[in-house]
Amino acid sequence: MKKKKCTKCKIIKPISEFNRESRNKDKPRSWCKSCYKEYNQKYAPQWYRSEAHKKRLWEKAVERNYPGMTVSRYEEILESQNGVCAICGKPGINRRLAVDHNHKTGQIRGLLCVFCNVLVGYVEERTLLRKIETYLKKFKE
């Protein structure tokens, strides 16, 4: 049975006592499960609940998921739309407005509420849109 030394507690333990790296599933983490658990119970809850952490995660996600998009560009678009959805005109309730973009070209079109963003996704999928129309026609009076 393979064993590994935890770099935190310095105890040699079976590999089964180590979680896998998130980016390389074949590689075990450097800390054992119990050291991670102890660390997370002591420190993580304070940081993960902070507004600063949530904001930073969102900023990183915007820049990672939408090439060429920055937080300042997001704020510019939001201001140009008067802080509301580009389609329905409602503000993002309990959530930020989603970045609407063309999945093929990456071109950013605007900011949408969750409902309109999902709807645009369905409309872009033409076959699904036709199926929805056919379904609704069955019940038309």
Domains of the chain in sequence order: 66-133 (3.40.1800.10)
Find the helix packing angle between 51-65 and 71-80, rounded to 10°.
Answer: 90
- Say what percent of the chain tops pLDDT 90: 40
Where does the pLDDT of residue 31 fall: very low under 50, low under 70, confident under 90, or very high at 90 and above? very high
Residues 89, 95, 97, CA angle at the centre, nearest 5°?
A: 45
Q: Could you tell me the pTM of the whole model?
A: 0.59
Residue 45 has pLDDT above 80, yes or no: no
Measured CA to CA, the distance from residue 132 to residue 126 in angstroms comes to: 10
Where does the pLDDT of residue 43 fall: very low under 50, low under 70, confident under 90, or very high at 90 and above? confident
Give Cα separations from 24 to 37, 82, 90, 140, 141 (angstroms): 20, 43, 42, 53, 57
Mean pLDDT of 49-71: 86
The two structure tokens encoding residue 64 = 């990672």
pLDDT (tens digit per residue) in 78-113:
999 999 999 999 987 778 899 998 888 888 999 999
The two structure tokens encoding residue 123 = 């409309």
The pLDDT value recorded for residue 139 is 85
The single residue listed with the structure tokens 């393979």 is: 2
Give Cα separations from 4 to 10, 22, 33, 40, 49 (angstroms): 10, 18, 12, 21, 33
